[in-house]
Amino acid sequence: MGIPTEPIGSIPRSAEVLAALASGGDAAAAQDIAIAETIRRLEEVGSPVVTDGEQSKPSFATYPIAGLDSLAPDGAVIPFADGHTRQLPRLTAGPFRYQHHAVDYLRAAQSIAQVPVKQAVIAPSALSLLYPGEGIAGYSREQFLDDLVNEAEADIRGCLDTGAHVVQLDFTEGRLSLKLDPSGGVLDDFIALNNRVLERFSATERARIGVHSCPGGDQDSTHSLDVDYAQLLPKLFQLRAGNFYIQLASEAEPDKVLAIAADHLPPEARLFVGVTDPIDPQVETPEQVRDRVLAAARYVPVDRLGTCDDCGFSPFADDTSTSRDTAFAKISARIRGTALASEQLGA
């Protein structure tokens, strides 16, 4: 079947979705149309696995808590290299419960798609940032984390049980944590928390669970590309997952990254390497993608290698820095280039 290739998740929202969101009205009808169009276009360029492009998610991170009453707007701030920021809400009371589960997005996509559907979910480590440093009266951090682990497990298990091709945990905060805490203590806590969830699944189930890591990608900027990847990768591969999706196309020293990855990748896991850069407006050629795959194959056995985009094209709904046409052109190049490499490698 060749080297597998998968999208990471988000595709820029359609103009109709953006207009509906801007008007403050009900965007559901526009989102349904955009989901169908997104899946159709992915299938037309030959994507063997599709997503719904997150057309109906407010963001990759906040979909579970949209509509939760016990939130204040002044939570953790995420600074990006170009000066803009994103701010998470702050939890004000417990118990913590998801308001929306990813399985609902999955079912909608499966009703349309003709090929397997992948579902992205937010890692529990990201949602752990909702709990305030000063605590919440009557609701301890330990109680919150217990609730969070239960909710995250349910989010993943619902998708697995409904037939997702793979469930991908978005873990962009991993590299960012090293910028905020160079000692690595926060990263260690993130890894431990995510493993509390992952260890609840069998080895067979974990073979269909993956973790995506990147330095962020929003409005053509990143939040942690200046953090040495070497600090993250050994700990990233401690996560009990069967697949890892890592940003690589935009990395300054891809050979260094691949060497570290090859040394630490668990023997039962597959490594998907980013071969297209969603932030770069230049569309890669299939030949460029082919060469990136061939370079990765010098370090990672072909039977444990896959390709992906570096990150989602529009993790936040209002990010219009990349057009839909550019996103699909890059995805097409990824698919065609991966096929060229597969042929050359005899995969």
Contact (CB, 8 A) for 51 and 7: yes
* pLDDT-derived band at 26, boundaries 50, 70, 90: confident
pLDDT band at 130 (very low <50, low <70, confident <90, very high): very high
Q: What pLDDT does residue 300 have?
A: 97
| Contacts of residue 161, Cβ cutoff 8 Å, sequence gap at least 6 | none
E strands within 191-302?
A: 209-213, 243-246, 270-276
- Give Dmax (Cα) for the chain: 61
pLDDT (average), residues 305-314: 96
Mean pLDDT, the chain, whole residue set:
95
Q: What is the mean pLDDT of residues 131-146?
A: 97
Q: Which helix (H) or strand (E) holds 77?
A: strand 77-79
CA nearest neighbour of 231 among 204, 256, 196:
256
Tokens encoding 153: 């497990």
pLDDT at 122 over 80: yes
Structure-token pair, residue 347: 């995969």
Q: What is the structure's pLDDT at 25?
A: 79
User: If you average pLDDT over residues 141-162, what whole number do you get?
Assistant: 98
Average of per-residue pLDDT across 139-159: 98
Using a cut of 0.85, tell me whether the model's pTM lies above it.
yes
**Residue found under tokens 């989901």:** 35
**SS3 (DSSP) at 35:** helix
pLDDT > 80? residue 347: no
Per-residue pLDDT band for 1 (boundaries 50, 70, 90) equals low
CA dist 117 and 107 (Å) reads: 9
Q: What is the pLDDT of residue 217?
A: 87
| pLDDT score recorded for residue 111 | 97
Domain spans of the chain, in order of start: 5-345
In angstroms, the CA 347 to CA 336 distance is 14
Phi-psi region of 266 (alpha: psi -120 to 50; beta: other; left: phi over 0): beta
List beta partners, residue 272.
245, 306
- pLDDT, one tens digit per residue, over 208-230 is 999 999 988 888 888 989 999 99
CATH entry 3.40.50.300 includes domain 5-345: no
